[in-house]
């Protein structure tokens, strides 16, 4: 038993998203818990998730978790707000390893950060419709008023690399104007692509609005969880950058280029898998 526990410590963390956005979460995990190895899956063949039904998101997420388990992961991070909002609750009881999402950690911090009790949430249509951010924020801060806004054009703009382009600024102005008018003092970037637009969002929302990045909070929560479960890598087998693994369901080269633009090291290989087989 002791040997098994020792081995679990050196097992990787499975991280998945509908595509490249979850790399912002993987990046935070690498920063905050550099001793942990990551197996990342980006569902680039079936992105976007943000406009799909709950049944579909559950089916996709279940297949991905099956795939990650074949890689011997010790825990799973659902690095996609949409899958966290629509599938996590269903998958949790099906698994015998810890699985966490990005919504609860982000919502908790937003509830603690606000001073005037007015919180904005920007996310995909499905995440906003699920109302999960609102529920979790209210469970921590019952008096909070939550203003949700779906921003479906942000993901393609990020994937195009137009992070500070005038077109992106114009689109962001249109989306954020009604939120600014509500007087929010906290804005949750509730889609894993959005932290890459942080500069533009900050410019529009101004100094008085705190931007919450659930990726940062999720990495913190993962660190605590691994420690509590006694399955953190003890550093006896240090992780090198080339030990992280990246898998996708389509367009491996495009994914690799994107990964290279946001991760602090070069990603040499991205492997293509047929996710429908899992
Ligand atoms: N990564 C997804 C999320 O955080 C957004 C992209 C998509 O629609 O698939 O919700």
pLDDT of residue 242: 80
Average pLDDT over residues 89-100: 97
155 belongs to the catalytic site:
no
Write down the pLDDT at residue 1: 42
pLDDT at position 224, please? Answer: 97
Q: What is the pLDDT of residue 191?
A: 97
Question: Does an H or E element contain 113, and which?
Answer: helix 103-113
Mean pLDDT of the chain: 94
Question: Is 60 exceeded by the pLDDT of residue 278?
Answer: yes
Binding-site residues, ligand 1, Cβ < 6 A: 17-18, 21, 47-50, 80-82, 124, 127, 155, 191-193
The yes-or-no answer on residue 224 being catalytic is no
The tens digit of pLDDT for each residue in 4-60 reads: 555 899 999 999 999 999 999 999 999 999 999 999 999 999 999 998 999 999 999
Pocket test for ligand 1, best of 15, 18, 106, 189 (most atoms within 8 A of CB): 18
DSSP state of 238: P
């Amino acid at each position: 038993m002791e040997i098994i526990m020792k081995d679990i410590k050196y097992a990787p963390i499975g991280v998945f998203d509908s595509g490249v956005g979850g790399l912002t979460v993987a990046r935070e995990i690498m920063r905050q818990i550099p001793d942990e190895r990551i197996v990342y899956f980006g569902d680039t063949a079936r992105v976007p998730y943000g406009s799909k039904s709950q049944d579909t998101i559950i089916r996709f997420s279940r297949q991905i978790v099956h795939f990650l388990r074949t890689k011997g992961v010790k825990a799973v991070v659902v690095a996609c707000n949409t899958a966290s909002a629509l599938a996590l609750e269903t998958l949790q009881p099906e698994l015998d390893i810890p699985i966490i999402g990005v919504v609860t950690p982000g919502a908790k911090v937003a509830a603690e950060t606000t001073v005037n009790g007015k919180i904005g949430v920007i996310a995909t249509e499905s995440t906003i419709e699920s109302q999960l951010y609102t529920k979790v924020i209210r469970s921590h801060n019952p008096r909070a008023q939550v203003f949700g806004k779906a921003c479906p054009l942000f993901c393609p703009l990020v994937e195009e690399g137009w992070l500070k382009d005038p077109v992106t600024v114009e689109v962001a102005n249109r989306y954020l104007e009604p939120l600014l008018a509500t007087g929010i003092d906290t804005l949750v970037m509730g889609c894993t692509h959005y932290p890459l637009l942080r500069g533009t969002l900050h410019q529009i929302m101004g100094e008085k609005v705190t931007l919450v990045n659930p990726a940062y909070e999720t990495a913190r929560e993962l660190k605590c969880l691994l420690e509590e479960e006694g399955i953190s890598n003890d550093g006896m087998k240090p992780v090198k950058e080339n030990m992280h693994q990246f898998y996708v369901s389509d367009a491996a080269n495009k994914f690799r280029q994107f990964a290279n633009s946001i991760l602090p090291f070069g990603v040499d290989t991205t492997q293509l898998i047929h996710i429908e087989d899992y």
